[in-house]
Amino acid sequence: MPPTLAEHLAAHVAPQVTAQLQPRLSHPLFGGLLRRYLPQTWWFVSPGASATLHVGPDGQSQAFEGSVGPPDVVISWTAEAFDAVLAYRDPSRVPPGSGRPNVEKRTPKGAAAFDYLRSRLGL
């Protein structure tokens, strides 16, 4: 059975976000700039499943099953497309016919973060 969206986020995305973000938050100049965009909550939604990626004000990232908290960004796509892109971060691994994800940027800070991180997530 393939991993759930939350399992993909917990295994592949949350640890990397935490590892990249926390050292940057301690930088005197960049840390202050980054803090303006935190916390962040992103929903990942596919038919029959949803998961949440939450990045706290300290840069700690966590994944949850379901749609938790008010989102800054909502990304909707097929489960197969999420499986490929979250595991490999390579858009060429997305199954043919999956199209592009539907992205709703619900807050200005979410829009800025998504535009910056989009390619790092393989979206």
Please give the pLDDT value at position 90: 80
pLDDT in tens, 7-52: 989 998 999 999 999 999 999 888 988 999 999 999 999 998 999 9
SS3 content of the chain, % helix, strand, coil (to 5): 45, 20, 35
Please give the pLDDT value at position 2: 75
Classify domain 5-121 by CATH number.
3.30.1050
Q: Taking the CA atoms of the chain, what radius of gyration do you get in angstroms?
A: 14
Q: 10 Å Cβ neighbour count for 95?
A: 10
For range 4-9, the mean pLDDT: 90
Percentage, residues of the chain above pLDDT 70? 100
CA separation (Å) from 11 to 16, 31, 50, 102?
Answer: 9, 25, 16, 23
Is the pLDDT confidence value at 1 over 80? Answer: no
Q: Which sequence spans correspond to the domains of the chain?
A: 5-121
Please give the pLDDT value at position 7: 92
